[in-house]
Every structure is written in C-alpha cells, then in structure tokens.
Chains A and B, each alone.
Chain A
C-alpha cells in the first residue's frame, strides 16, 4: 500500500466477501429446490431465494468494483483519495441499501422485474451512491493532475454504468417496451460498460504484474473497448428475440453477438501476450492466476458459451431453458467475480500482516476448487439444458415431466456447487485470517523503475 487512503479498499473488499458467501447460501438453497420436494415452500419459496441469489451477486460485484477502484486510482494518479470520509459514508449507505433490499425480498417487497427488483427508494440510493463515488474518484484525479488511459477507461465504464441504470427507474405501461429498456441496463452493463471496467482492471493488473509496457497495454485497451462496443451495443438485439419487437432485430442480434467474442479473444490474447513478453515477474503469482484465469474463463463462459446459443435459429429452441443458466453462471463468474478476486488477491498482501506475497497455499486451493466447481456447474447446467431442449422443446414433452427426467443433472449441479462453495469458503477464510494493516510501504511503481530492463520493442500482440 503506497497511499494511506487505499485502506478504504480493505473494507469494501471485506463487505464484498461477506456478501459473496451469503450469495452462495441462497444459490445452494435454490439448487436444492430443483431436486425437491421443498420443505421451505411457504417460508422461503424458490422465487425468494433466487432473487436474493442474483441481487447479492450484483451488490457484491459492484462493492468489489468500488473497492478495487479506490485501490487503483491512488496508484495510478499517485495521490491520496480526495475524501476518505466520503468513501466510508458511501460504503455505509451502500450496505444499508443492500441489506434492507435483501430483507425486503424475504417479504416479496420488490418490483418483480428480473434483476431490477430493487424498490424505487433503493434505486434512488443506488444512483446517489454512484454519484458520490464518481465525484470522489473524479476529484482525486483532478487534484493529482495525472489521468491515465487505464483510469479513463475504468471511469468511463463506471460513469456509463450509472447513466445506463436510469432507464430502470422509469415505468412502462407496455410489458414489451419495459423488456426493451430493461436490457439497456442489464445487457449494456454486463456486455458493455462492465467489460470496460474489467478491461481497466485487467490493464492495471497486467502492467503491475507483468511489467508490460504501459503504452502498448493502453493502446490495446482502446482496441478492446472499440470491439466491445462495436459488437456489444448492437448485440443487445439478442435479447430482443421473441419478445414482441420488430423482426429485424433477429439478424442484427445474430450477426453482432457472433462478433462479441472477438473482444474477449482480444482480451485473453492481450493478457497471455503480456505475460509472455514480460521482463519483470511480480512475486504475486496468485494474483497472476486470477488475472489470467479471468481473461480465459471469460472467453469460455461469455464468449464460447454465449456464441453457442446466440444465433436466432438455435435460440428459437434454447430460449428460456437451462442453457441460459449455463451461460449466465460461467460468464458472470469469469468476467466479474474473477476480476474482483484478482484485484483483491493483488492488493491483499500489502493490506494484511504476515501474508506471503506470492499467495498462500489456501489461496491456491481456493482458486483451483472454485475453477473446478464452476466448470462442473457449467457442465451440469449444460447437460440439463440440452436434455430439456430436446425433450421439452423438440419432442414436446411437458415441462414438469421433462424436469423429472433431468434430475440426475441437478444432483451433479449440487455436487459441483458444493465443491465451488468450498473454494469460496477458503478464499473468504484466507481473506480474514490475517489482521489488516494500514501502514504505507514503499513499493516500487513499475512505471518509475530506474533499473527496469529495456522494454522489448513494443507492439507484438497482434
């Protein structure tokens, strides 16, 4: 930790860890209900556990993004945060919002609009928190006068995420129109501006961990951003299949969402290329695992598995089946959970006492168990989904009869989800078992190294 105010990040990460753990409790409960019968039918029915599962995901990942940004911006701009106090007020408000929303869901106090279930007062608090956050980060950068491209991409991502939340505040009389604008928030978040955020963190980590040349990294970051938006904005159309919008969204969705993996291929190549060419090997190899893992798993979960059912003539049969759950779990985990865990793993050794810089043995177990568990869950959803598509959609077997025939995959889902949970529990344990330490150390900024080896002649990524 080179700046005292970076300590703020620790508390954001700590909250994120707790919420991540809680998310899995509700995930496991929901999975168990797939096997049934459900003893909690009138206490905690599926709709409640599921809405809490997905909302906790959004809240903890955003908490992680905010913490990671508060860690990264002082490093990049070489200054203390504008206001530590504001950052803590922001965290407090955010936690109160999150906790009351979750309690409300237990009593079905929500909008019943998938992923945007937050009641209006909560949505307003979310916007206020976002504004506080942007103000604080913006003022920090302004004060320092040093604004890097990596920061710019990150900030633009966060700012756009706030702007794109606005359509979610409005009310639409026509259900189809409300679906149309719901995706402006959800899709343009996860397949647009959040990828910018991920790209920003990825660039930061690669520059720090591999010592890759900043000019080259940032140049490619722009290319990735360009590809993300070129494909991602019009790729929204793949959510407009079969919902009552004009026909032309079908071919547009097919074409542009088939292009979406390009940016992800770019991101994975970028990470791998940076590692290969690196002159400096940072001791934190655990963070390196998470960083590369995120790039590769995103390519698999978001890219490959998204591509698998994005073409309209395929999606016609797979739409609204467990195939979507397959893609959703792998994509979200790879792109957003893993990048937050990468940032935490990178920052943690300098925020806690006696932690090995290269990562602890428990940390590695956490990494591999999570990876194996999530891969298994993805396969379970995939096999269940394929069975469902053939039996229910193609052969015309009733929904309930089909679900009975694919029970074995739900058993597999619960087994692999348990493995994943062990991995997450280890990560959380590893996070909390060392006491935090908030003193400033003199870590060398790779941009300012005097004895840096000559950077091999630059652009060889393409």
Chain B
C-alpha cells in the first residue's frame, strides 16, 4: 500500500462509518418518541429536568447509569421508593441517613415543594423509559435483596451484641426526632424477627415472603376487590392488619401459607408498641 492508497483507505473508512451512523441516527429519531413515552413529557417533567440540571445531580448520582459514581443510581428510584418517601427525603436527607455510619451524606438541597414534586415527576418519567430492561436487578440504596448480606461478619457471628443489635453497619441509629417514615424504615430491619429477613423491597425479589415493592398500590387494589377476605377498609388498614394478624388475608402460594395459616410470625402485636406499628405502616405505605 502506498501513501495515496492509504489516504483513500482513511477517507473511505471514515465515509462509510459516518454514513451508517447518520442513517441509524435518523432511524433512532423515528423511534425516540415511542421508546421514551415522549407524550408523557409534561411541563412538570420538563421542570423536573431543570431541577435535576440546576442542582448538578449528575455529578454525584447516575441516571441511566451515566454520571458520577459517588451516590446511587436513580434510574428506577421511583419504583423502589414512593412519592411521600422521596418528598420527605428531599426535604432533609439527614433525617434518613447518618454521615457517621454511612460515611457519606447528601447535602440538603435548596428546593421548594414544587421543585421536589417536579423532580419526582421527571424521575418517574425516566423510570418508565424503555432502556432494554437495565438494570438487570434492582439497584438498592441500602439493605440487601439477600437478607443478612449487609451485616459484617462479626455481626453475623454475634447477633446479640450491643453494638450490632441487629442493625446492619449502614443503618443509622435513629432518634425520636426523625421522620416517622425513617423510623419505620429502621424498624423494618431491626424488629425481631426483622421484616427484611423474609421480605425484600426490591421488585420481583421474593424471599420467604413476597416482595413488598409496590405494597401500597397493591393493597389499594386488593382492598377494593372481591378476593379480599380481611376486614380492613383501606390500604393503610390492610398493611396494619397484615402486620398484626397475618392470616386475616392470605396471599396465594404454597410457600407463604398452609391450612389457612400464614407462615408469617403473629408476634408483632405483642412485641411492638402502637407507635412502632404506625411507623412501620408509614414506611410501607410509601412503597408504591
């Protein structure tokens, strides 16, 4: 190959690749609307996108896996956390996480309630974009789909020691001044037996008990339907009932019950205070 031929090679390679790329770009534009549900880009979603940009969120978090790696991915966050939870969290992250235990904390942002609502609308739109099913498994913020893996080995070896007290290393010690939702979230992992020993909050992750992802929305459907056997009148009532008397309504499936008796422990009514139950319900009600 002489120099002239190699120049032709360079030009031809570039030309062919560029042409193919442009054709594919045009075709992608044909499909963007459908894949991203463009008709759902409401003014709230657009305003939320601006909140996302103005606060430089991408330089700690990732969205669609793109951004910085200092904070969790938020692509599907609205499917893992309910709107109320996200609202309360965005008002003051320090009421949910502790910098001493996690060694990181999101600084409180200067956002109005409207900003927060718009941001959640934007993140909800993001969570519904058809992105080839990524992530393949839910990316959790804290906790674990497999119970116990968030404990240190010494905590697993000495579950009763004071310093561990059943709390994973990432879980903060909460105080009564905290948001009831945050208190409920801590109880979810610390009551005995711990809820998260059998229930995941990640979609599709069924352990000994069914996943609690979307429990609030599912409860609402269930209570209104004919197949519901319990005595609760609304979703909150149903969640409370499932904690206090698990067998009042049985979720179908041989791994969850036998002879009309749920496998879930019925000891919570005795072991927990009314206030604690309220907090647990407040937390679970945010899982929409």
Residues of A near any B CB (own CB < 8 A): 30, 33-38, 41-42, 45-48, 50-51, 108, 110-114, 117, 149, 173-177, 179-180, 215, 218-220, 222-223, 225-227, 229-234, 236, 241-250, 252, 316-317, 319-322, 324-325, 391-401, 403-404, 407, 459
Which chain B residue shows the least CB distance to A231? Answer: B17
Residues of B within 8 Å of A149, CB to CB, are: 3
Q: 0/1 per residue, B251-278, Cβ < 8 Å to A?
A: 0000000000000000000000000000
The interface on chain B, measured as residues whose beta carbon lies within 8 A of the other chain's beta carbons, has a size of: 83
Contact with A along B102-139 (1 / 0, CB 8 A): 11110100000000000000100010011110111111
A226 and B132 in contact, given A112-B53, A399-B139 (Cβ under 8 angstroms): no
Question: Which of A112, A322, A400 is B72 in contact with, Cβ under 8 Å?
Answer: A400
Contact B73 A233 (CB under 8 A): no
Q: Is the CB of B53 within 8 A of A396?
A: no
Q: Give 5 nearest A-B pairs by CB, closest first.
A: A320-B65, A396-B145, A36-B103, A112-B53, A242-B134
Q: Does B143 lie within 8 Å of A324, measured CB to CB?
A: no
Known contacts A246-B35, A324-B69; A35/B103 CB under 8 A: yes
User: Do residues A226 and B67 form an inter-chain contact, with CB atoms below 8 A?
Assistant: no
Q: Which of B41, B66, B170 contacts A398 (CB 8 A)?
A: B170
Given A112-B53, A112-B54, A226-B13, A37 and B100 contact (CB-CB distance below 8 Å): yes
| B200 (CB) vs chain A CBs: closest residue | A396
B118 to chain A, nearest CB (A): 13
Contact partners of A50 in chain B: CB under 8 A: 59-60, 68, 70
How far is the CB of A381 from the nearest CB of chain B, in Å? 9
Shortest Cβ gap from A54 to chain B (Å): 8
Residues of A within 8 Å of B10, CB to CB, are 222-223, 225-226, 229
The answer on a CB contact under 8 Å between B70 and A33 is yes
In the assembly, what is the distance between CA of A459 and CA of B1, in Å?
A: 9
Instruction: Tell me which residues across on chain A come within 8 A of B28, comparing CB atoms.
Output: 180, 245-246, 249
A243 to B99, CA, bound (A): 31
B115 → chain A closest CB, angstroms:
14
User: CA A229 – CA B103 in complex, angstroms?
Assistant: 44
Distance, CA A99 to CA B57, complexed state (A): 22
Q: What residues of B have a CB within 8 angstroms of the CB of A398 in the complex?
A: 140-144, 150, 170
B132 contacts A229, C-beta separation under 8 Å: no
> Are B134 and A316 within 8 A (Cβ)?
yes
- Cβ–Cβ contact A245 & B32, under 8 A: yes
Cα A252 to Cα B138 in complex, Å, equals 26
- Among the 9-residue stretches B18-26, B213-221, B222-230, the one with 4 or more Cβ atoms under 8 Å from chain A is B18-26
Report the minimal beta-carbon distance from A271 to chain B, rounded to whole angstroms: 17
Given contacts A112-B56, A320-B62, contact A229 B18 (CB under 8 A): yes
- Answer yes or no: B38 CB below 8 A from chain A CBs: yes
B36 engages A176 (CB within 8 Å): yes
State A395–B143 Cα separation when bound (angstroms). Answer: 11
7 A-B pairs, CB-CB below 8 angstroms?
A: A36-B103, A46-B71, A174-B36, A229-B18, A399-B142, A401-B143, A459-B1
Residues of the B chain whose Cβ atoms lie less than 8 Å from the Cβ of A241: 132, 134
Q: Which of B142-158 contact A (CB under 8 A)?
A: 142-146, 149-150
**Once the chains bind, are A41 and B6 in contact (CB under 8 Å)?**
no
| Residues in B lying within 8 Å of A, measured CB to CB | 1-3, 6-7, 9-14, 16-18, 20-21, 24-25, 27-28, 31-32, 35-36, 38, 41, 46, 49, 52-60, 62-73, 97, 99-100, 102-105, 107, 122, 126, 129-132, 134-146, 149-150, 168-170, 202, 205
User: Nearest CB to that of B10 among chain A residues?
Assistant: A226
Which A-chain residue is minimally distant from B3 (CB atoms)? A219
Choice from B54, B56, B137, B150 contacting A401 with Cβ under 8 Å: B150
Complex contacts, A175 vs chain B, CB 8 Å: 36, 49, 63, 122, 126
Closest chain B residue to A384, Cβ basis? B69
Output the residue of A41, A47, A173, A392 with the most chain B CB within 10 A: A47
Chain B residues with Cβ below 8 Å from A248 are 24
Q: A285 CA to B202 CA in the complex, in Å? A: 58
Chain A residues with CB under 8 Å of B59's CB are 46-48, 50-51, 112, 114, 117
Question: Nearest A residue to B110 by beta-carbon distance?
Answer: A108
Q: Across the two chains, which residue of chain A brings its CB closest to B170?
A: A401
CA distance A229 to B20 in the complex (A): 12
Contacts of A110 in B (CB 8 A): 56
**Bound: A245/B104 CA distance, A:** 33
Residue among B13, B59, B139, B149 having the largest count of chain A Cβ atoms under 10 Å? B59
Q: Which residues of B contact A395 (CB under 8 A)?
A: 144-146, 149
Q: CB < 8 Å: which of A48, A223, A230, A324 contacts B17? A: A230
- The answer to whether A174 touches B32, judged by C-beta atoms less than 8 angstroms apart, is yes
Query: Known contacts A38-B99, A400-B104; is A249 also within 8 Å of B24 by CB?
Result: yes
CA of A34 to CA of B60 in the docked complex: distance in angstroms? 11
Contact of B135 (CB < 8 Å), options: A220, A391, A393: A393
Nearest opposing residue in chain B for A42, CB measure: B107
Residue pair B35, A227 in contact (C-beta under 8 Å) = no
B21 x A37 contact (CB < 8 A): no
Q: How far is the CA of A222 from the CA of B205 in the complex (A)?
A: 53
B21 touches A236 (CB 8 A): yes
| B56→A399 contact, CB < 8 A | no
CA distance A324 to B53 in the complex (A): 22
Q: Which residues of A contact B137 (CB under 8 A)?
A: 393-394, 396
Given contacts A112-B54, A247-B132, contact A47 B60 (CB under 8 A): yes
Q: What B residues does A407 contact at CB under 8 A?
A: 103
Q: Give the CA-CA distance A230 to B19 in the complex, in Å.
A: 11
Q: Is the CB of B140 within 8 A of A396?
A: yes
How far, in angstroms, from A108 to B60 measured CA to CA in the complex? Answer: 13
Bound together, the chains give a CA A422 to CA B28 distance in angstroms of 47
Which partner residue on chain A sits nearest B151 by CB separation?
A401
Contacts A47-B68, A112-B57, A174-B32: A220 and B6 contacting too (C-beta < 8 A)?
A: yes
A395 to B97, CA, bound (A): 22
Task: Enumerate chain B residues within 8 angstroms of A400, measured Cβ to Cβ.
Answer: 72, 97, 102, 104, 141-142, 170
With both chains docked as a complex, state the minimum distance between the C-beta of B91 and any C-beta of chain A, in angstroms.
Answer: 16
Chain B residue numbers with a CB within 8 Å of A35 are: 103
